Amino acid sequence: MDKYNFAEIEDKWQTKWEQDKRFKTTVSTDKPKYYCLEMFPYPSGRIHMGHVRNYTIGDVIARYKMMHGVNVLHPMGWDAFGLPAENAAISKNVHPDEWTKSNISYMKSQLKRMGFSYDWDRELATCNEDYYKWNQWLFLKFYENGLAYKQEADVNWCDKCQTVLANEQVEDSCCWRCSTPVRTKRLSQWFFRITAYADKLLNDHSLLGNWPDKVLSMQKNWIGRSYGCEIDFRLDSDRDKIIKVFTTRADTIFGATYIVLAPQHPLVDELIKGAENEAMIRQFIEQCKIRVALDEELEKKGIFTEIYAVNPVNGERVPVWIANYVLMEYGTGAIMAVPAHDQRDFEFSKKYCLPMRVVIQPAEALEFDNMTCAYEEQGTMTNSATFDGMGNVEAKEAIISWMEKQGIGRKRVNYRLRDWLVSRQRYWGTPIPMIYCDRCGLVPVQEDELPIKLPKGLDISSGKTLATCLEFINTKCPVCDGDARREADTMDTFVDSSWYFARYISPQDDRQPIDTTLANYFLPVDQYIGGIEHAILHLLYSRFFIKVIADIGLISHPEPFANLLTQGMVIKDGAKMSKSKGNVVDPDEIVNKYGADTVRIFILFAAPPEKDLEWSEQGVEGAWRFLNRVWRIVHQHAPQIIDMQTEGMEQNIKISAARGLYSWTHRTIKKATDDIEVFHFNTVIAACMELVNEIYQYREFDAVGLVALREALRNLILLLSPFAPHICEELWQVLGNSTSVLDEPWPVYLPEAIYEETVVIIVQINGKVRDKISVPAESTEEVIKAEALKAAAEKLGTKDIKNIIVVPGRLVNIVV
């Protein structure tokens, strides 16, 4: 018997698949399509085990669908622009383009070694001009439709990366890439008006298929649609000036005892000018420029402006404060503080000895002097003029209606979501296709001039940027032909990844970004696979982008991904694999030692896809041993079954000694099919392992038994082929087949074959297992009881039997 030489076998089949263009996809209207896609990688240098897990999951799904005769699109590309490439290139004194392309070449060879079924003819890299040309084209369409604009704003600034970050890229008040604390800075920046699609992004969750509830919840919370009221608080010193506040708790307006402004509120500068403590206030505002995440717990700090406003419902003067716990990102950047009924306001009020008033009473009356926390539940209105005695839920609508009639407030729908800041002050990204002309103002680049190319000769290692590259900056105005300047900022790299999946459909098309006819055939992506960390970055941006692209008529479907699978992390020694923790396992080393099929089997068997996977060298060894058992059992029996004649023998299997193997095979097919449909890959592999164990139980086969053996081995190989494709292709040929396993249909079980003539029943006494019995499958409950009592007679002795509980097909519990 030949030894299982995985290196030779895997190289052989990878070469053949590539030569035959086995995974090339074309439009085939006579077949249903299936678009399977994993999130494309950043070409950092080498793939890691997280990549291997993600892409193996996708490859199993793609291969399974191919065996169902479906027209599968399964592409791969590179998310190639970005700050890490620029920083790495600077540190290595090479150009980012050279560094990135070198990494792509190596990582592509790694992916090919894993045997992934990618259509490499559709490969794209976002740093290529033929890709980012269409980034620029889409930017112009956003601009034409009022969805791209430039304005001064307080932005999130990372001092280490020397660039702006979108709100979604600030994690726990730090830069998502380098973990440097983020501060606010006022700059003129480009934004995409994602807020115009806030309602669609929420409402169209109903159009999605199987998406994790956690992802949908994270998006809903980030968009943060809330229904409430906007209320006008006039300044006591100047009744023409108004502070607008947004609240979802109009029922507490009579309990508002002070106003709080965000440090970046546009009125702040005007209000504090000339104040006795102006210098202290400005110093406080500077301290607040260290960015605070929306949900982060922080020590609440504030300062009094020496200004008062007027509560419009009762005419009371209320002090105006500035505090770090109020953010411009939410509402109007100003709140009415109701310390008796809001915990944040309560804590702030206690700290600075500010007044509070109870306006909602529970069944047992509150005394604010004795309050230890805010009362935020439902109750009865009090201290609220004509609304006293009403339930606060009912009073909320009544108060809003009354304020609208008085002209002091109005219903409003508010969103936590803010427009997407897309400007970046770095080189390695898509240049923004806009021009500044002193005569004509802001002018878009003409479409026939695209792409606006990055200057390849710029020496960024010396600190030069696009803004300092006069060859790039200086240009002519498309309107008046006068001297003009190009925009020096580049686009956020999340722009690149927000539509790449649509470009795979026609990646060589130089006339348009997306071929509409092909897009309407292939989109949406049927199964998307990636990490949950992208829930409010890439996944939300992609949904926004595809809705805009649909609205301008390029595609017909308003959602990018029909179904989403978020796989867990690969961890080792209790922590996520990372270079800083020193617990990284190099995929190349494992593939060199055991082969790609072993890695694939282990990584899918060790845990369900959505759970974290604990790396285990013993687990890898176990996967290796399993594949060797499969190799040996096929080679052992292949000579007996290659040329055997089976005609007329199938009907005799049920009465042969191998009828158990025949039944086991079909139960395995059913189990594997049911479980692979819901991505329980670990249990599919476990079922195949059990089938192998069952085959090994048989020492010899008669003529009819060989038919059952042949069926078991053939189906075992087909069931395993999406998981371990190289060895299965080889073993399929060992069994005398000339076709590829991919040309074979996925096995179908026979219902009559999985019928079990006997079943094993567990016998318990008082819930503890004492024996097992085997009874005919059709046995009545009385027969099962009698057999159980017979088996347990010795252990029961003379004990009193109180009850006998039968769980059909599983167990008997004798209660004594």
Between CA 596 and CA 619 the distance in angstroms is 14
Q: What is the pLDDT of residues 357-371, one digit of tens each?
A: 999 999 877 665 678
Give the pLDDT band of residue 168 (cuts 50, 70, 90). Answer: low
| Pick from 132-141, 278-287, 313-322: least confident | 278-287
* Pairing verdict, β 258-261 and 317-323: parallel
Whole-number pLDDT of residue 151: 92
Share the mean pLDDT of the chain.
92
The answer to whether residue 470 scores a pLDDT higher than 80 is yes
Structure-model confidence comparison of residues 289 and 468, the more confident one: 468
Indicate if the pLDDT at residue 400 is higher than 90. Answer: yes
Predicted pLDDT of residue 757 = 64
Q: Which of 18-27, 413-422, 583-592, 759-768 has the lowest mean pLDDT?
A: 759-768
Q: Among 141-145, 518-522, 577-581, 720-724, name the one with the lowest average pLDDT.
A: 577-581
Q: Give the pLDDT confidence of 638-648 residue by residue, as tens digits.
A: 998 887 766 65
Distance CA 96, CA 365 (A): 68
Packing angle between helix 681-696 and helix 703-720, nearest 10 degrees?
160
Give the model's confidence band at 290: pLDDT under 50 very low, under 70 low, under 90 confident, else very high.
low
322: left (phi over 0), alpha (psi -120 to 50) or beta: beta
Question: What is the rounded average pLDDT of the residues 262-274?
Answer: 90
Is residue 671's pLDDT more than 80? yes
60 near 38, Cβ under 8 Å? no
Residue 294 has pLDDT above 90, yes or no: no
Question: In this model, does residue 335 exceed pLDDT 80?
Answer: yes
Which has more pLDDT, 302 or 656? 302
Place of tokens 């696979």: 529
Phi (first) and psi of residue 57, to 5 degrees: -55, -50
User: pLDDT tens digits for 603-633?
Assistant: 999 999 999 999 999 999 999 999 999 999 9
- Report whether 742 contacts 66 (CB < 8 A): yes
- Residues of the chain with pLDDT > 70, as a percent, come to 95
| Structure token digits, residue 537 | 């970055």
Q: What is the pLDDT of residue 545?
A: 98
Residue 196 CB partners (closer than 8 Å, separation 6+): 147
β pairing state of 564-566 and 527-530:
parallel
Query: Looking at residue 293, what is its pLDDT?
Result: 45
Residues 453, 414 contacting (CB under 8 angstroms): no
Residue 292, pLDDT above cutoff 60? no
The band of 659, judged by pLDDT with boundaries at 50, 70 and 90, is confident
Task: Report the pLDDT averaged over residues 720-730.
Answer: 98
Which whole number is the average pLDDT over 510-535?
95
What is the SS3 assignment for 202? Answer: helix
User: How big is the chain by its Cα radius of gyration, in Å?
Assistant: 34
pTM of this prediction? 0.87
In this structure, the number of other CB atoms found within 10 A of the CB of residue 636 comes to: 13
Enumerate residues 6+ apart whose C-beta is below 8 A from 530.
Answer: 38, 39, 54, 538, 564, 566, 567
- Can you tell me whether residue 118 is helix, strand or coil? coil
Cβ of 343: how many Cβ atoms within 10 Å? 12
Higher pLDDT, 174 or 497: 497
Which of 477-481, 555-559, 573-577 is predicted with the least confidence, judged by mean pLDDT? Answer: 573-577
To the nearest 10°, the Cα dihedral for 338, 340, 341, 347?
A: 80
Q: What is the mean pLDDT of residues 780-799?
A: 89
More confident residue, 432 or 655: 432
Per-residue pLDDT band for 536 (boundaries 50, 70, 90) equals confident
| CA dihedral sign, ordered 744, 746, 752, 755 | positive
Q: Amino acid identity of 350? A: K
Beta strands in 316-390 (DSSP E): 317-323, 334-337, 360-361, 380-381
pLDDT digits (tens, 9 = 90+) for 9-67: 999 999 999 999 999 999 988 899 999 999 999 998 899 999 999 999 999 999 999 99
d(CA 341, CA 713): 70
Task: Report, as an integer, the average pLDDT of 580-605.
Answer: 93
Please give the Cα distance from 6 to 726 (Å, whole number).
Answer: 8
Distance CA 747, CA 727 (A): 18
pLDDT at 291: 54
With H, G, I as helix, E, B as strand and everything else as coil, classify residue 223: helix
pLDDT of residue 160: 83
Six token digits for residue 694: 């069952």
Q: How many other C-beta atoms can be found within 10 angstroms of the C-beta atom of residue 222? A: 18
pLDDT digits (tens, 9 = 90+) for 676-718: 999 999 999 999 999 999 999 887 888 888 889 999 999 999 9
403 neighbors 412 (Cβ within 8 angstroms) = no
Can you tell me the mean pLDDT for 268-277?
A: 89
pLDDT of the residue at 575 = 85
